[in-house]
Amino acid sequence: MNETDSTSGTDFEEDLADITNLLIYNHWLSNIKDWCISRQLWWGHRIPVWYIEGKKSEEDYIFARNANEALEKARKKYGKDVVIYQDPDVLDTWFSSALWPFSTLGWPDVSSEDFKKFYPTTMLETGHDILFFWVARMVMMGIKFTGNPLDTIKDFGTDALQFTLALGTAGQDLNLSTERLTANKAFTNKLWNAGKFVLQNLPSQADTSACQTMLAYKFDKEESLVKLPLPECWVVSKLHILVDTVTASYDKFFFGDVGREIYDFFWSDFADCYVIFFQFL
């Protein structure tokens, strides 16, 4: 397949993915049902509704920001002092989550600077199936069935856990296995050791001339790059390719690809090739 065919194939796949996502999105919107927003939980935002003692709650209720405001509204409505009580339920987790983007930006003052600058938002980073289910419950189930994250951190380290989660592919479930965590713990250890190796081979801070020469070197200039010894020229060239690849993946929000691309460069090109070669000089 020539380059033109390859590009056309990529464009077709992207167009097909866009059409598929649009069909799924339309399916969601065309199957919307009434949403019960009250929950009987120990945590959450208390529903801001007050009822009147001695009256049917379905007919007599008051919306208010707090109890004092509710009592004042009740006095105006009934022309006398009444006894009120707040609904014991809390808002559904996702109802509360929906409030977050604008309630933190000055709402109901839609003219506030923060509201005008940041709302509406442009991206939501979450699981593909979260449009149907509840994040809070998924987290609790994850702790129940896969273990407490703090225990995982104790066994494998924070960096290994975060990197393993970052390698997930959008739209697919991630198998958070001990094998993956073990492999990425080894990766973070290798990263640490490589960092120590680099620091040990840098000029001493006391050697100001060597430090200034190193800091002044322009690795993004081709004429400077070709003056480097062959191993350094090769690894810096690979680094430039990595930067371009990672930037393209970031622009498409392919964060899992970003992690894998960095992993491959560091482990295969930098650690297993360049560092090993340098050690034998």
The predicted structure's pLDDT at residue 33:
67
Query: So what's the pLDDT on residue 50?
Result: 92
Whole-number pLDDT of residue 6: 42
Q: Mention the CATH class of domain 144-279.
A: mainly alpha
Per-residue pLDDT tens for 6-62? 444 455 556 656 677 677 666 666 766 677 878 898 888 899 999 988 877 667 889
SS3 content of the chain, % helix, strand, coil (to 5): 60, 5, 35
- Sign for the CA dihedral angle at 108, 112, 118, 119 comes to positive
Domain assignments of the chain as residue spans, ordered by start: 1-32, 38-91, 94-122, 144-279
Kindly report whether the global pTM for this prediction surpasses the value 0.75. no
Contact 107, 120 (CB under 8 A): no
CB 265 within 8 A of CB 187: no
Task: Please give the DSSP secondary-structure letter assigned to residue 46.
Answer: B
Per-residue confidence (pLDDT) for residue 57, from 0 to 100: 66
Query: 234: part of which helix (H) or strand (E)?
Result: helix 230-251
Give the DSSP letter string of 108-135. Answer: T-TTSHHHHHH-S-----S-GGGGTS-H
Give me the residues of the chain with pLDDT under 50, please: 1-9, 135-142, 144-146
What local confidence, expressed as pLDDT, does residue 3 receive?
40
**Tokens (6 digits) for 231:** 């191993």
